[in-house]
Amino acid sequence: MKSNGMEFRSNYYDAEDHGSLPLIAEIDALKYLFKWYAFGFKDLEKFMDPGSAADTKEFC
């Protein structure tokens, strides 16, 4: 939704409480802010494997 050039999104977490909501909301916020950055699980596996690539520049 856009209003006056400001983009935002909201969610209501019916099944969550005060203790569980901050982590879930933070994850959703990071996904929203970095939606342009596609980092797949195949990339993650390749990144976490120390023997896969000596050059880590492709991940930066």
Query: Does residue 29 register a pLDDT over 60?
Result: yes
> Please, which pLDDT band fits residue 37 given cuts at 50, 70 and 90?
confident
Model confidence pTM above 0.75: no
Q: What is the per-residue pLDDT across 2-28, written as a single tens digit (0 to 9) for each? A: 568 888 888 888 988 899 899 999 988
The span from the CA of 59 to the CA of 56, in Å, is 6
| Percent of the chain with pLDDT strictly greater than 70 | 72
β-pairing verdict for 2-3 and 6-7: antiparallel
Predicted pLDDT of residue 31 = 85
What's the CA angle centered on 56, arms 53 and 30, to 5 degrees?
Answer: 120
Size of the chain in residues = 60
Predicted pLDDT of residue 39 = 65
Tokens in use for 59? 């991940």
